[in-house]
Structure 1
């Protein structure tokens, strides 16, 4: 079982990594498809809101922001962040498919955090995050399905 500050540190560091990933995706799609770029940017904004909520919960429970949280978050922000632009449909579909896989991983991560927590005060906040992560996964999955069906329609005509 994780202690309270460890759990909150892990959750915040994970969301900071997710924020960085969505910002990178928004940037990568900017010149190829602005609708995908806007979607990724809005998912990044959702990450920012979750980070603020985790910080609020931490303050509410009387915990100060730990240096470990700052260190873990800054490490996560730089990992694999290499700028590139999406230039073709095949790459766009691959990157979107990876974004769906990453969203599914993030959902599982938060479910495991909730299961590892023995602190009843965190259950509501983690449950809300899990619902948001389920919606995030569904939105990305639906978006890719829509894009894929549009591409098939274009090829058929």
Structure 2
């Protein structure tokens, strides 16, 4: 597996200085997550892009908070492990959006889903979504 390096940011540089072997593990994680995230649009096509670029943006946003004006030392003294966890969390935060077809089918056909979307906390919103779908379908049909 060819590892893609982490994009350059003060946070990533800080991590690499603190513990290079953890930095290499982050590059490996980023490479694997890049593949996983290609499956997100199959389930969540209506969401904004959740590619590796999105995760890189989160790493950069955290970096900008911790290293204002691109300073080399963070506002908070972070250990190598703390820095690793921050970057890993940025890369893994969308991993739960990767869902197998069989898992989707199991959830959507479950009694729990039926109750949640008809009587539970999502009932009102689910009804709105269904009404929007029906309205869009009527508009799309010629000669309505």
Query: What TM-score does the superposition give when structure 2 sets the normalisation length?
Result: 0.35
Q: Which has the higher contact order (CA 8 A, sep 6+)?
A: 1
Q: Which is greater in Rg?
A: 2
Write 1 or 2 for the structure with the bigger share of helix.
1
Per the normalisation by structure 1, the TM-score is 0.33
